[in-house]
A and B are shown apart, each in its own frame.
Chain A
């Protein structure tokens, strides 16, 4: 039953994809020669003017270019021409670094806030104020104080991924069933054992939800941050290709950003399943 449903869904998905690609191809294909011109002159004008071909690349152009990229993803011909694999690796490294630092701060601090109603109240105004700030608004301040564009980008990732993790950890810890805490107390587990053997596993699904939200936000923000700081990364690549007027490369970058984002999310989903428990 479930298998056949899955198969049907896959068939519909593929059909939709084919329809979309066909529509795209038709929409961007040329309407034929618009006027008779001297061939030399027509060559200079380009196909957009002479053949009525859209400047928007079709799926075939994109596919061909993508294949080119995938065949040598890691070449490095100087600052303006790096393989798309290298650019993605730069972005991923920044995200993982900023995100890792955010975990190191948010999970212990969230634990503290969740365990202590006093700290929860004391820190609440700060969190409420800082949470809605667009991470990019921190960029000038980061550039001024850190004086390094790469580190600033990492900081921006850090600041945007810290909030969901912090709030979810605090919530998860604060809502651990009282019974389990009482069991830990009657079994004399002690503070550390209670924290690691009872509270952490009990709150893990909630914490992982926060981490999953955070990695999504971090991946969204890195593109924008790299557009600002420049130099390397997939965000820089997008903006650079826009300046090069290579819409094909922009589309390829969009596709790859989506793909990597999806993979990151799937990884977190898997982790989430691993720590979840049926109550």
Chain B
């Protein structure tokens, strides 16, 4: 990495006083990761691992209990126009027209601009998201997808350094979601906008992200690993599943969400994890490689991808990841033999 990270997250933790208890409930702790300029980073994890809290902290809307977020050279302190947020529920002002919603941010960014200039700027971004003709419409008169487009235009119109998206498409139907993902992809390719997004949709992450941060389940959630997207940069939604890396990547993510995120919940394996540089995994056809960022590479071999030649299985049959190397990823060792009959509802963390 020659680029200087735009955002560095260092030792982030969020704890709440337990209700009626004396102790503190740790949502997540020891989070270290960075976002480079122009990078698209997705964070995936189950509900309760504090994804939204992380995004709110990055946005400056929430404060961490421990740790800092460094933007450029400065520790983050409060919200800023440089970090625009696209909210899950679009959060448009219902009393303002689509255009006026966008103008609100533009006028705040450029206090010295004339009203005409603000309007022209807002219109430009409205047409960027293909909403020409909807300028005067109130959010209630727009469809869900169109509202979210206005939300995207509002965020982009302030020309932020980074765009923070909190499950922006989760409330939309599949068709609209797809077209909006394409929209984000094309905008991003055109503008090289740095984006940080929360999702729980694997396909969305694979299509959009360069880097996928995997969170274990809460409480005491942490970053289990960072997966690099091994699909080509010019991937298309309709084509990417033909790429040989598609299923290894997808299976790896899915297997994490289905099994490992739960096994690692509650701080299992945390004592051996290297927080500062979580293992970076590059799932490619044939094997899954994990590179320790500083020293000798750790190689992870996914049994599922090795022993099952048919990669089109969308759900791996409880693959067991065997860690080799420096033991940084030893968390995977104790997963035990394939447990086909283990119910999904089991919540007891499997200790070793």
Contacts and interface: CB of A to CB of B under 8 A. Distances in A.
Contacts of A126: none
A186 B95 contact: no
A183 B91 contact: yes
A180 to B, nearest CB: 6
A180 B95 CA distance: 12
Interface stretch (A51-59, A104-112, A187-195, A256-264): A187-195
A59 B318 CA distance: 90
Interface string B82-115: 0111010101011110000000110011000000
Contact of A179 (B79, B87, B138): B87
B49 to A, nearest CB: 21
Interface size range on A against B = 20 to 34
B91 A187 contact: no
A201 B96 CA distance: 9
Interface in A115-149: none
B158 interface: yes
Interface in A54-107: none
Given A179-B87, A277-B138, A278-B138, A189 B93 contact: no
A187 B108 contact: yes
A202 interface: yes
- In this complex, the member of A183, A193, A198, A202 whose beta carbon has the largest number of chain B beta carbons within 10 angstroms is A183
Nearest to A204: B95
B334 interface: no
A185 interface: yes
B81 interface: yes
Contacts of A8: none
A111 B85 CA distance: 27
A182 interface: yes
Nearest to A190: B108
A278 B138 CA distance: 8
A198 B59 CA distance: 19
A193 B103 CA distance: 13
Interface of B: 59-61, 78-81, 83-85, 87, 89, 91, 93-96, 104-105, 108-109, 138, 140, 158
18 contacts: A179-B89, A180-B91, A182-B61, A182-B79, A182-B85, A182-B87, A182-B91, A186-B61, A186-B79, A186-B83, A187-B108, A187-B158, A190-B108, A193-B108, A197-B104, A277-B95, A278-B140, A279-B140
